[in-house]
């Protein structure tokens, strides 16, 4: 490995994705560059080759090469899609000196990763720079298949302020979902421990998949979500309001499945009795999960700020068919 720099991960960065942590702290590197460096083993954690998706632990030592960064970035220059640039600009729902919020389209990844190529928001963040001296930075992320409110800080100072709000759980997140069936209790809490399972495929390649409900705490993290039924169609479908108190991967999808009410369009956490099992209803294969709003006290103005995102088309059409008012 090329001689470079070793950085110790601090407590505040515990559980941060490696790629996010590097791009936040090293302006020379794009997300694609980090992926490439990790694949080549040029970025290591505690001396070991590590995936860009690795979740850091306080005290980890991240080793990065100083040479070749410029060369690598030259190889990963993007060819911007003007249609996607326009879509992102049109998706802006809030903008001030410190923050930009967009209504992220379903099917567009927040960050790069396997099979994502360059079509993700992190790669196009300069499109949203406008009059700022810095390109905006993602403060959090939404899954590719989830639409809704996504925040980007307009400078490093703002990134630190809003990241701190998320870490202290001072931002209320509200999601809307269309699920199959109706929970036995129309309002309640889902609490479990979520982690990864090692699954060996027939070709003997190991794959990490998200585990469903488990109280076995080994290698897992506590996940807590609040839910409430807003509307329902008999016993077939429900409109759920979901408020995650923690931020685990696929947390809401897993918790809805644990309630026995799979999110419509979720083919990963369905079961054999699910209407999603052999196809999706409503003529859409999209996931019916939307990040509806974020509420927080603005760290500069000290005013309560509520940012809301309209439902995507595939969800609003079903809401209209069911006669549900939003």
Residue whose tokens read 């409109």: 239
Q: Report which DSSP code applies to 87.
A: H
Angle, in degrees to the nearest 10, between helices 18-25 and 31-39: 120
The Cα–Cα gap between 285 and 276 comes to 9
Query: 3-state DSSP call for residue 43?
Result: coil
Any catalytic annotation for residue 60?
no
Contact indicator for 148, 290 with CB cutoff of 8 Å: yes
Query: 3-state DSSP call for residue 8?
Result: strand
Residue 297 neighbours by CB under 8 Å, 6+ apart: 170, 303, 304, 305
- Give the pairing of strands 147-153 and 206-210: unpaired
The Cα–Cα gap between 171 and 29 comes to 29
Contact indicator for 293, 241 with CB cutoff of 8 Å: no
The Cα–Cα gap between 14 and 23 comes to 16
Alpha helices, H only, 138-234: 156-167
Give the DSSP H/E element, type plus range, for residue 38: helix 31-39
Among residues 143, 145, 266, 321, the one annotated as catalytic is 143
Number of neighbours of residue 202 by Cβ within 10 angstroms: 5
**The tokens of 85 are what?**
């640039």
Residue whose tokens read 């889902």: 190
The Cα–Cα gap between 169 and 163 comes to 10
Residue 305: name the closest of 132, 99, 141 by CA. Answer: 99
Residues with a known catalytic role: 143
């Amino acid at each position: 490995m090329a001689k470079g720099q070793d950085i110790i991960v601090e407590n505040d960065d515990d559980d941060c994705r490696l790629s996010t942590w590097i791009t936040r702290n090293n302006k020379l590197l794009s997300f694609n560059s980090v992926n490439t460096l990790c694949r080549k083993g040029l970025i290591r954690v505690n001396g070991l080759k590590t995936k860009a998706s690795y979740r850091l632990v306080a005290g980890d030592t991240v080793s990065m090469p100083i040479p070749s960064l410029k060369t690598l970035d030259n190889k990963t220059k993007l060819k911007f899609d003007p249609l996607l640039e326009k879509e992102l600009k049109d998706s802006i729902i809030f903008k001030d000196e410190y923050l930009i919020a967009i209504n992220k389209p379903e099917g567009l990844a927040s960050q790069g990763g396997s099979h994502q190529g360059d079509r993700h928001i992190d790669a196009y963040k300069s499109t949203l720079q406008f009059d700022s001296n810095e390109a905006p930075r993602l403060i959090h992320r939404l899954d590719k298949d989830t639409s809704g409110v996504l925040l980007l800080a307009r400078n490093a100072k703002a990134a630190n302020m809003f990241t701190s709000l998320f870490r202290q759980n001072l931002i209320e997140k509200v999601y809307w979902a269309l699920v199959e069936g109706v929970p036995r209790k129309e309002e309640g809490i889902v609490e479990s421990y979520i982690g990864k399972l090692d699954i060996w495929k027939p070709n003997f390649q190991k794959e990490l998949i998200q585990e469903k409900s488990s109280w076995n705490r080994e290698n897992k993290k506590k996940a807590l979500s609040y839910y409430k039924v807003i509307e329902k169609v008999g016993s077939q479908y429900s409109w759920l309001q979901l408020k995650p108190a923690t931020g685990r991967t696929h947390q809401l999808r897993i918790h809805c499945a644990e309630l026995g009410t799979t999110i419509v369009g979720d083919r990963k956490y369905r079961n054999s009795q699910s209407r999603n099992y052999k196809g999706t209803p409503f003529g859409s294969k999209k996931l019916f999960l939307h990040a509806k709003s974020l509420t927080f006290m603005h760290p500069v103005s000290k005013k309560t700020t509520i940012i809301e995102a309209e439902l995507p088309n595939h969800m609003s059409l079903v809401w209209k068919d069911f006669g549900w008012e939003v």
